[in-house]
Chains A and B, each alone.
Chain A
Amino acid sequence: MKKIFSRPKSLKDVPFHYCPGCGHSVIHRLVCEVIDELGIQDNCIGVPPAGCAVLAYNYFDVDMCEAPHGRAAAVATGIKRMLPDRVVFTYQGDGDIAAIGTAETIHAANRGERVTSIFVNNAVYGMTGGQMAPTTLPGQVTTTSPGGRSPLRDGNPLDLSAMLALAAGSVYIERTTVANPKGVNRTKKAIRKAFQVQMEDKGFSLVEILSPCPTNWKMTPTASIHWVEETMSKIFPIQVIKDVA
Protein backbone atom coordinates (compact mmCIF):
# COMPACT_ATOMS: atom_id res chain seq x y z
CA MET A 1 0.00 0.00 0.00
CA LYS A 2 1.11 3.50 -0.77
CA LYS A 3 1.44 6.10 1.94
CA ILE A 4 -0.88 8.96 1.04
CA PHE A 5 -0.79 11.07 4.18
CA SER A 6 1.99 11.78 6.67
CA ARG A 7 3.80 14.70 8.29
CA PRO A 8 4.94 17.49 5.98
CA LYS A 9 8.72 17.84 5.68
CA SER A 10 8.93 21.34 7.13
CA LEU A 11 7.02 20.36 10.29
CA LYS A 12 9.57 19.24 12.88
CA ASP A 13 9.12 15.77 14.30
CA VAL A 14 8.28 16.86 17.84
CA PRO A 15 4.99 16.50 19.73
CA PHE A 16 2.83 19.64 19.91
CA HIS A 17 2.33 21.25 23.31
CA TYR A 18 -1.23 22.29 22.40
CA CYS A 19 -4.29 20.97 24.23
CA PRO A 20 -6.25 18.03 22.80
CA GLY A 21 -8.51 19.23 19.97
CA CYS A 22 -6.73 22.58 19.50
CA GLY A 23 -6.90 24.13 16.04
CA HIS A 24 -3.38 25.57 16.18
CA SER A 25 -1.69 22.30 15.39
CA VAL A 26 -3.91 21.70 12.34
CA ILE A 27 -3.04 25.18 11.07
CA HIS A 28 0.69 24.58 11.71
CA ARG A 29 0.44 21.46 9.58
CA LEU A 30 -1.40 23.28 6.78
CA VAL A 31 1.14 26.10 6.66
CA CYS A 32 3.96 23.52 6.51
CA GLU A 33 2.21 21.59 3.74
CA VAL A 34 1.86 24.78 1.71
CA ILE A 35 5.52 25.67 2.34
CA ASP A 36 6.51 22.20 1.10
CA GLU A 37 4.28 22.37 -1.96
CA LEU A 38 5.53 25.80 -2.97
CA GLY A 39 9.13 24.68 -2.30
CA ILE A 40 9.95 27.73 -0.19
CA GLN A 41 11.29 26.06 2.96
CA ASP A 42 14.75 27.62 2.55
CA ASN A 43 13.31 30.95 1.56
CA CYS A 44 10.62 31.52 4.15
CA ILE A 45 10.64 33.55 7.37
CA GLY A 46 7.86 33.23 9.93
CA VAL A 47 6.95 35.63 12.71
CA PRO A 48 5.22 33.90 15.64
CA PRO A 49 3.02 35.85 18.09
CA ALA A 50 2.66 36.11 21.81
CA GLY A 51 -0.04 33.66 22.78
CA CYS A 52 -0.49 29.90 22.68
CA ALA A 53 1.50 29.77 19.43
CA VAL A 54 4.46 31.63 20.93
CA LEU A 55 6.48 28.42 20.65
CA ALA A 56 5.63 27.97 16.97
CA TYR A 57 9.35 28.15 16.17
CA ASN A 58 9.70 24.75 17.84
CA TYR A 59 7.50 23.24 15.13
CA PHE A 60 8.15 25.10 11.88
CA ASP A 61 11.40 24.03 10.26
CA VAL A 62 11.87 27.47 8.66
CA ASP A 63 13.56 30.62 9.91
CA MET A 64 11.48 32.31 12.59
CA CYS A 65 11.78 35.68 14.32
CA GLU A 66 9.73 36.21 17.46
CA ALA A 67 7.83 39.51 17.68
CA PRO A 68 6.67 41.46 20.74
CA HIS A 69 2.98 41.04 21.54
CA GLY A 70 0.92 42.19 18.57
CA ARG A 71 3.83 43.61 16.61
CA ALA A 72 4.28 40.72 14.19
CA ALA A 73 3.06 42.80 11.23
CA ALA A 74 5.64 45.51 12.01
CA VAL A 75 8.47 42.96 12.43
CA ALA A 76 7.40 41.23 9.21
CA THR A 77 7.43 44.59 7.42
CA GLY A 78 11.03 45.14 8.47
CA ILE A 79 12.10 41.65 7.42
CA LYS A 80 10.36 41.89 4.06
CA ARG A 81 11.81 45.31 3.28
CA MET A 82 15.35 44.18 4.02
CA LEU A 83 14.96 40.78 2.36
CA PRO A 84 12.37 41.28 -0.37
CA ASP A 85 13.09 37.91 -1.98
CA ARG A 86 11.92 36.00 1.10
CA VAL A 87 8.39 34.82 1.76
CA VAL A 88 7.41 36.35 5.10
CA PHE A 89 4.38 35.27 7.08
CA THR A 90 3.04 36.17 10.51
CA TYR A 91 1.16 33.69 12.63
CA GLN A 92 -1.09 35.43 15.11
CA GLY A 93 -4.03 34.76 17.39
CA ASP A 94 -7.02 37.02 17.89
CA GLY A 95 -5.71 38.45 21.17
CA ASP A 96 -2.53 39.37 19.33
CA ILE A 97 -3.65 40.65 15.93
CA ALA A 98 -7.09 42.02 16.85
CA ALA A 99 -6.36 43.56 20.25
CA ILE A 100 -2.86 44.84 21.01
CA GLY A 101 -1.71 44.60 17.38
CA THR A 102 -4.66 46.27 15.64
CA ALA A 103 -2.74 49.42 14.73
CA GLU A 104 0.30 47.60 13.31
CA THR A 105 -1.88 45.23 11.32
CA ILE A 106 -4.14 47.88 9.84
CA HIS A 107 -1.22 50.04 8.81
CA ALA A 108 0.72 47.11 7.35
CA ALA A 109 -2.37 46.22 5.31
CA ASN A 110 -2.92 49.80 4.29
CA ARG A 111 0.67 50.18 3.14
CA GLY A 112 0.19 47.01 1.13
CA GLU A 113 3.18 45.24 2.66
CA ARG A 114 3.98 42.03 0.80
CA VAL A 115 3.47 39.81 3.82
CA THR A 116 0.94 37.13 4.67
CA SER A 117 -0.86 36.98 8.01
CA ILE A 118 -2.31 33.78 9.38
CA PHE A 119 -4.96 34.95 11.85
CA VAL A 120 -6.17 32.24 14.21
CA ASN A 121 -9.49 33.33 15.69
CA ASN A 122 -10.69 31.32 18.68
CA ALA A 123 -12.69 34.09 20.39
CA VAL A 124 -10.75 34.02 23.68
CA TYR A 125 -7.32 34.79 25.07
CA GLY A 126 -6.07 31.22 25.20
CA MET A 127 -2.67 31.24 26.85
CA THR A 128 -3.55 33.55 29.73
CA GLY A 129 -6.53 31.49 30.80
CA GLY A 130 -9.57 32.23 28.67
CA GLN A 131 -10.25 35.92 29.22
CA MET A 132 -12.62 37.90 27.01
CA ALA A 133 -11.02 38.95 23.71
CA PRO A 134 -12.20 41.56 21.18
CA THR A 135 -13.54 38.67 19.11
CA THR A 136 -15.53 37.07 21.94
CA LEU A 137 -19.14 36.51 20.84
CA PRO A 138 -22.09 38.25 22.54
CA GLY A 139 -23.27 36.08 25.41
CA GLN A 140 -20.11 33.97 25.44
CA VAL A 141 -18.90 33.04 28.93
CA THR A 142 -15.23 33.68 29.63
CA THR A 143 -13.30 34.13 32.86
CA THR A 144 -13.68 37.92 32.62
CA SER A 145 -17.28 37.83 31.40
CA PRO A 146 -18.76 35.18 33.71
CA GLY A 147 -22.32 36.25 32.92
CA GLY A 148 -21.67 36.21 29.19
CA ARG A 149 -20.37 39.09 27.07
CA SER A 150 -22.87 41.92 27.11
CA PRO A 151 -22.61 44.10 23.97
CA LEU A 152 -23.81 47.18 25.87
CA ARG A 153 -21.18 46.84 28.58
CA ASP A 154 -18.34 44.98 26.84
CA GLY A 155 -18.80 45.97 23.21
CA ASN A 156 -19.31 43.84 20.14
CA PRO A 157 -17.04 41.28 18.50
CA LEU A 158 -14.47 42.95 16.30
CA ASP A 159 -14.46 41.88 12.67
CA LEU A 160 -10.84 42.65 11.90
CA SER A 161 -10.85 40.96 8.50
CA ALA A 162 -13.68 43.18 7.26
CA MET A 163 -11.80 46.23 8.54
CA LEU A 164 -8.65 45.16 6.71
CA ALA A 165 -10.66 44.60 3.54
CA LEU A 166 -11.33 48.36 3.50
CA ALA A 167 -7.60 49.09 3.44
CA ALA A 168 -6.40 49.93 -0.04
CA GLY A 169 -3.26 47.81 0.19
CA SER A 170 -4.89 44.51 1.11
CA VAL A 171 -5.31 42.15 -1.80
CA TYR A 172 -6.61 38.85 -0.53
CA ILE A 173 -8.55 38.21 2.67
CA GLU A 174 -10.50 35.05 3.36
CA ARG A 175 -12.13 33.57 6.44
CA THR A 176 -12.16 29.80 6.82
CA THR A 177 -12.47 27.22 9.57
CA VAL A 178 -10.62 24.09 10.66
CA ALA A 179 -13.65 22.59 12.41
CA ASN A 180 -14.38 20.04 9.67
CA PRO A 181 -12.34 18.24 6.99
CA LYS A 182 -13.88 20.33 4.19
CA GLY A 183 -12.96 23.50 6.03
CA VAL A 184 -9.41 22.23 6.58
CA ASN A 185 -8.98 21.64 2.85
CA ARG A 186 -10.39 25.06 2.09
CA THR A 187 -8.08 26.63 4.63
CA LYS A 188 -5.09 25.03 2.93
CA LYS A 189 -6.18 26.42 -0.44
CA ALA A 190 -6.63 29.85 1.12
CA ILE A 191 -3.17 29.76 2.73
CA ARG A 192 -1.62 28.70 -0.56
CA LYS A 193 -3.35 31.54 -2.39
CA ALA A 194 -2.29 34.04 0.27
CA PHE A 195 1.35 32.96 -0.11
CA GLN A 196 1.07 33.15 -3.89
CA VAL A 197 -0.34 36.69 -3.70
CA GLN A 198 2.73 37.64 -1.71
CA MET A 199 5.13 35.85 -4.06
CA GLU A 200 3.57 37.66 -7.01
CA ASP A 201 4.30 40.91 -5.17
CA LYS A 202 0.70 42.09 -5.19
CA GLY A 203 0.12 43.22 -1.63
CA PHE A 204 -1.08 42.24 1.82
CA SER A 205 -2.86 38.92 2.27
CA LEU A 206 -4.54 37.47 5.32
CA VAL A 207 -6.33 34.24 6.13
CA GLU A 208 -8.56 34.30 9.20
CA ILE A 209 -9.16 30.81 10.55
CA LEU A 210 -11.92 30.00 13.03
CA SER A 211 -10.28 27.55 15.37
CA PRO A 212 -11.64 25.55 18.32
CA CYS A 213 -10.30 26.14 21.85
CA PRO A 214 -11.91 23.32 23.89
CA THR A 215 -9.98 24.08 27.09
CA ASN A 216 -11.04 27.70 27.44
CA TRP A 217 -14.51 27.21 26.02
CA LYS A 218 -14.94 24.46 28.68
CA MET A 219 -16.17 22.03 26.05
CA THR A 220 -15.11 18.66 24.71
CA PRO A 221 -13.21 18.81 21.39
CA THR A 222 -16.25 17.36 19.62
CA ALA A 223 -18.62 19.94 21.14
CA SER A 224 -16.23 22.74 20.29
CA ILE A 225 -16.07 21.92 16.58
CA HIS A 226 -19.86 21.92 16.55
CA TRP A 227 -19.86 25.27 18.34
CA VAL A 228 -17.59 26.74 15.66
CA GLU A 229 -19.90 25.49 12.93
CA GLU A 230 -23.19 26.42 14.55
CA THR A 231 -22.52 29.53 16.62
CA MET A 232 -19.22 31.15 15.78
CA SER A 233 -19.60 31.03 12.00
CA LYS A 234 -22.91 32.94 12.34
CA ILE A 235 -21.05 35.96 13.68
CA PHE A 236 -17.92 35.37 11.59
CA PRO A 237 -19.29 34.00 8.29
CA ILE A 238 -16.99 31.74 6.28
CA GLN A 239 -16.31 33.60 3.06
CA VAL A 240 -13.81 35.29 0.80
CA ILE A 241 -13.87 38.83 2.18
CA LYS A 242 -11.66 40.47 -0.41
CA ASP A 243 -9.97 39.16 -3.52
CA VAL A 244 -8.55 41.64 -5.99
CA ALA A 245 -5.56 39.45 -6.85
Chain B
Amino acid sequence: MKGRINIDRERCKGCELCMTVCPKKKIGISKKLNTKGYYPAEFSGDTPQDSDKTGCTGCSLCAIICPDVAIEVYREDKE
Protein backbone atom coordinates (compact mmCIF):
# COMPACT_ATOMS: atom_id res chain seq x y z
CA MET B 1 0.00 0.00 0.00
CA LYS B 2 1.23 3.46 -0.79
CA GLY B 3 0.75 6.61 1.09
CA ARG B 4 1.85 10.16 1.35
CA ILE B 5 1.94 12.83 4.01
CA ASN B 6 1.77 16.60 3.79
CA ILE B 7 3.50 18.52 6.55
CA ASP B 8 2.37 22.11 7.01
CA ARG B 9 5.78 23.70 7.55
CA GLU B 10 4.34 26.90 9.01
CA ARG B 11 2.36 24.96 11.62
CA CYS B 12 5.18 22.59 12.58
CA LYS B 13 7.24 23.48 15.65
CA GLY B 14 10.02 20.96 15.04
CA CYS B 15 9.39 18.79 18.10
CA GLU B 16 10.57 15.72 16.13
CA LEU B 17 7.98 13.38 17.66
CA CYS B 18 6.84 12.28 14.17
CA MET B 19 10.43 11.25 13.40
CA THR B 20 10.56 9.01 16.47
CA VAL B 21 7.40 7.09 15.55
CA CYS B 22 7.79 6.77 11.75
CA PRO B 23 8.40 3.05 11.10
CA LYS B 24 10.02 3.80 7.72
CA LYS B 25 12.12 6.72 8.98
CA LYS B 26 10.85 8.86 6.12
CA ILE B 27 10.66 12.13 8.04
CA GLY B 28 13.60 14.45 8.52
CA ILE B 29 14.23 17.99 9.69
CA SER B 30 14.28 20.80 7.16
CA LYS B 31 17.41 22.90 6.76
CA LYS B 32 15.30 26.03 6.32
CA LEU B 33 13.61 27.92 9.14
CA ASN B 34 9.90 28.59 8.99
CA THR B 35 8.48 32.03 9.78
CA LYS B 36 8.05 31.14 13.47
CA GLY B 37 11.76 30.36 13.71
CA TYR B 38 11.56 26.59 14.01
CA TYR B 39 13.23 24.01 11.80
CA PRO B 40 10.13 22.09 10.70
CA ALA B 41 9.88 18.40 9.90
CA GLU B 42 9.80 17.47 6.23
CA PHE B 43 8.81 14.35 4.36
CA SER B 44 11.90 12.77 2.85
CA GLY B 45 10.07 10.17 0.78
CA ASP B 46 9.41 12.50 -2.13
CA THR B 47 11.46 12.05 -5.25
CA PRO B 48 10.50 14.37 -8.08
CA GLN B 49 11.15 11.68 -10.70
CA ASP B 50 8.82 9.04 -9.32
CA SER B 51 6.10 10.42 -7.12
CA ASP B 52 4.59 6.98 -6.55
CA LYS B 53 7.59 5.58 -4.72
CA THR B 54 7.30 7.52 -1.50
CA GLY B 55 8.18 4.66 0.84
CA CYS B 56 5.30 5.84 3.03
CA THR B 57 2.68 3.26 3.95
CA GLY B 58 0.10 5.78 5.13
CA CYS B 59 0.04 4.30 8.64
CA SER B 60 -0.66 7.82 10.04
CA LEU B 61 1.34 7.25 13.25
CA CYS B 62 3.09 10.59 12.64
CA ALA B 63 -0.23 12.40 12.38
CA ILE B 64 -1.56 10.69 15.50
CA ILE B 65 1.40 11.80 17.64
CA CYS B 66 1.78 15.28 16.03
CA PRO B 67 0.87 17.86 18.70
CA ASP B 68 0.17 20.62 16.19
CA VAL B 69 -2.05 18.73 13.73
CA ALA B 70 0.45 19.75 11.05
CA ILE B 71 0.33 16.46 9.16
CA GLU B 72 -2.27 15.30 6.67
CA VAL B 73 -2.15 11.68 5.57
CA TYR B 74 -3.22 10.28 2.21
CA ARG B 75 -3.45 6.60 1.38
CA GLU B 76 -4.47 4.66 -1.68
CA ASP B 77 -7.73 2.81 -1.31
CA LYS B 78 -7.48 -0.92 -0.79
CA GLU B 79 -8.38 -2.63 -4.06
1/0 contact string of B1-15 vs chain A (CB within 8 Å): 011100000110111
Residue of A nearest to B38 (CB): A20
Are A26 and B74 in contact, CB atoms less than 8 angstroms apart?
no
A204–B68 Cα distance when bound, in Å, is: 30
Of the candidates A1, A2, A181, the one whose C-beta lies within 8 Å of that of B65 is A181
B20 contacts the other chain (Cβ, under 8 Å)?
yes
How many interface residues does chain A have, given as a range?
20 to 34
Chain B residue numbers with a CB within 8 Å of A4 are: 58, 60, 73-75
Q: Which residues of B contact A21 (CB under 8 A)?
A: 13, 15, 17, 67
Q: Is the CB of A15 within 8 A of B11?
A: yes
List residues 7-42 of chain A with CB under 8 A from any CB of chain B: 7, 11, 15-16, 18-26, 29
- Inter-subunit contact B15/A2 (CB<8 Å): no
Contacts of B21 in A (CB 8 A): 180-181
What is the predominant secondary structure among interface residues of chain A facing chain B? mixed
Complex CA gap A180/B64 in Å reads 9
A225 CB-CB contact with B under 8 Å: yes
Contacts of A16 in B (CB 8 A): 67-69
CA distance A15 to B60 in the complex (A): 20
B71 contacts chain A at the CB level, 8 A cutoff: yes
| A234 is an interface residue with CB less than 8 A from chain B | no
Report the nearest A residue to B10, measured CB to CB.
A15
Query: Nearest residue in B to A188 (C-beta to C-beta)?
Result: B64
B12 to chain A, nearest CB (A): 9
Number of interface residues of B (CB under 8 A): 30
A220, B73: Cα distance in complex, Å: 25
Is the C-beta of A95 less than 8 angstroms from some C-beta in chain B? Answer: no
Determine the residue in chain B with the shortest Cβ distance to A2: B77
A1 to B14, CA, bound (A): 26
- Residues of chain A lying within 8 A (CB to CB) of residue B13: 19-21
* B46 / chain A contacts, CB cutoff of 8 Å: none
The verdict on A2 contacting B76 (CB below 8 Å), with A181-B21, A221-B16, A225-B17 known, is yes
> In whole Å, how far is A161's beta carbon from the nearest beta carbon of chain B?
23
Q: Which of A173-216 contact B (CB under 8 A)?
A: 180-181, 184-185, 214
Q: Which residues of B contact A6 (CB under 8 A)?
A: 72-73
CB of B77 within 8 A of CB of A20, answer: no
**A185 pairs with B74, CB closer than 8 A:** no
Ranked 8 nearest A-B pairs via Cβ: A20-B13, A21-B15, A5-B73, A20-B15, A1-B74, A221-B15, A25-B67, A5-B63
What is B's interface to A at a CB cutoff of 8 Å? 2-4, 10-11, 13-17, 20-21, 38, 58, 60-61, 63-69, 71-77
What are 18 of the A-B contact pairs (CB < 8 Å)?
A1-B4, A1-B76, A2-B75, A2-B77, A3-B72, A5-B60, A11-B69, A15-B10, A15-B68, A20-B13, A20-B38, A21-B13, A180-B65, A181-B61, A181-B65, A184-B65, A221-B16, A225-B20
